[in-house]
Structure 1
Amino acid sequence: MTAASAAPRPEKREILKVQGLSAGYGPMRVIHDLDLTVYSGERVGLVGLNGHGKSTLFYAIAGLTGWQRGSIRLNGAEVGGTRSQGPGRYTHLVVRRGLALIPQGDEIFHGLTVEEHLDSGAFTPRAWKERKPRKDRVLAIFPPLVKLLKTPVGRLSGGERRMVSIGRGLMADASLFLVDEPSLGLAPKIGKSVMEALMSVELGDSAMVIAEQNVALLEGRVERIIGMHVGKLKGEASVAMGFQTRREI
């Protein structure tokens, strides 16, 4: 097994503990006996090329893979185990345990307005009740959205749509935010501003894992950067160690 977890600190608690996780789709195995621990207050970067398992790891935590086995504990509760059918069948229960998955790209409803998207992220009763202050926090992180609340997201630029997608995830009553490729397809300047916005999120007792191809966007901004290759975690990663996987333009 490949271990990629930091030594626990007395004031921290385990938000996520993955042990011996294997996962895939149909006959294809993408994740191989993977271990990962994430603590409260941490931002963890996960870097690697496309197709090496970053998104699949996120989907497995959310219960969205075709099959999986191994242990996934979220806030101390088992949400993994052996599963061979029904991708997404229990995802709503994982969300209620404290997960917010922010997918890569524009997985949004182009006919809905920005405000409707943000409101849809307040999935649990508590988040819905607190949606006004939550929305105010999201708009403070992404000021360009303030004047776009009544605009259908299909009319927005790529960077603005990414802000909406991330903002929707931040509306959740979550203790673990999984952010998949936030800079994908964006101009370098826009990608950097999106990453800086993620760094401005007050985590408190929560944690955030950011999957990203460009390790330079993560260095100096997150507590740990872990490399991922062919479905396994490879330990600490940095530009100097050769993990610059996408060239800056």
Structure 2
Amino acid sequence: MAKFQNLFTGAMFIISTLLVHAMGDIAWEDGSATFYGDMKGGETMKGACGYGDLFQQGYGLETAALSTALFNNGLTCGACFEIMCVNDPQWCIPNAGTITITATNFCPPNYDPHFYPWCNPPRKHFDLAMPMFVKLAQSKAGIIPVKYRRVSCIKRGGVRFELKGNPNWITATVLNVGGAGDVKALRIKGPNSDWRPMSRNWGQVWQVGGGNLVGQSLSFQVTTSDGKTIVLDNVAPGNWQFGQTYEGRGNF
């Protein structure tokens, strides 16, 4: 009996070990990376996620534009990825470790045969700021093979909301989201109104009819792609203004 138990325990240990390794293999996926700009970062990438000036919004250079396969029509905006250079001893920096970036833009496909197709489907590709790229590989490489995986976003301070629009139409760009990082649902309310769902305009820009929200303090309910929800009360005061950014007292 003891011998059988020992064999059973040993078999379970082997199975558990194989499962752990299998899960580890699944966690990391194959992709590629290039860079844009110079060591000062060049022109800050902006646009497809709606974040605007990445330095002003606190994202800095730890960002990337994603290829079509990763961008997912903007649903991935705000997600964080860990990336490492692999399988290229000529250009990968030895023992470089990994970098972590936030998805902030789209790297569009280019089907002109005279240009590089790195961002064309089905490639999984990251276009990095040069200072991030050279942490992994020599700049002369141009393009490198990488492994990547989704990781939790670590952000300082609370979730932020940039408000734009007019009295009849309000947009809120959701910024500095921790945890999963990518928002899948957003609700808004004032002290004299019920929770109202906002619809995605593009990237992480959400919209709702102004109604009676102008002149009221605004609260938000944010749900990320992993299903977690946070309620941020009275984020914007009653005298909030269009074109301003307001920070909630909490994050994921």
TM range (shorter): under 0.3
Q: TM-score, normalised by structure 2?
A: 0.24
TM-score, normalised to structure 1's length? 0.24
Higher Cα Rg, which structure: 2
Greater RCO structure (CA 8 Å; 6+ sep)? 1
